[in-house]
Amino acid sequence: MISAREATLSLMGAMRLARFDEKGALFFNTTVQGFWNSFWVAAVIAPFHLLYIALIWQNEDIPTTAARYFATEAIIYVMGWVAFPLAMVYVCRRMNWSERFLAFGVANNWADLIVSAFFIPVQIAVVTNLLTGSAMSLMLAVAILYSLGLSWFVTRHTLNISALAASGVVTVAVFINFFIRYWGALLMA
């Protein structure tokens, strides 16, 4: 279980990273235990993600049963939290970045909390038609660009790698997320 002190410090670090301050990475517990503790972020985000997918179910025509839809979304959610870190274990070993993997993994998970705090409300506003037309396009573009930019920043500064290498890591993350969503769509069809 994560302590209140570690959670508070990690949240402070994530907030600094969110402002593109690389010193935010100094707030995290970058031990193996800190790495596992950072997955509590998934539990914090989960209820908001559940609200989002429930609104999709309510507002869109999903060609499957509720049980299949929610089970598939749950699998997608878990895979989204597990697949990229597992891929990064391999990438870090291959690229000789292993000594920085824990710092990257912890910071990346906590940065996801910040991205979700921004992105999920935008997604909910789109699904419920609070945002439509050009306002929807603008907010989605801002959310996506911010998410990619923060991922790039966290990757570059926690792994201490070049801008190009960080872009490659973010591309891997996008590809993995695309593949997971595609696989989920196939399960629901």
Structure tokens at 161: 């790698």
Q: Which residues of the chain have pLDDT under 50?
A: none
pLDDT of residue 100: 97
Structure tokens at 159: 């792994």
pLDDT of residue 56: 94
Structure tokens at 37: 């503790």
DSSP 3-state helix, strand, coil percentages of the chain (rounded to 5)? Answer: 85, 0, 15
Helices then strands, each counted (H, E), the chain: 7, 0
| Cβ atoms < 10 Å from Cβ of 53 | 19
In whole angstroms, give the CA distance from residue 170 to residue 144: 12
User: Could you give the number of structural domains in the chain?
Assistant: 1
pLDDT of residue 189: 79
pLDDT tens, residue by residue, 18-69: 999 999 999 999 999 999 999 999 999 999 999 999 999 998 888 889 999 9
Q: What is the DSSP string of 91-158?
A: HHHHTT-GGGHHHHHHHHHHHHHHHHHHHHHHHHHHHTTSS-HHHHHHHHHHHHHHHHHHHHHHHHHH
- For the chain, the C-alpha Rg in angstroms (whole number) is 17
What 8-state DSSP symbol labels residue 29? -
What pTM value is reported for the model? Answer: 0.93
Contacts of 80 (CB under 8 A, 6+ apart): 177, 180
**Domain interval for residue 90:** 4-188
Structure tokens at 10: 């990690």
Structure tokens at 138: 């603008």
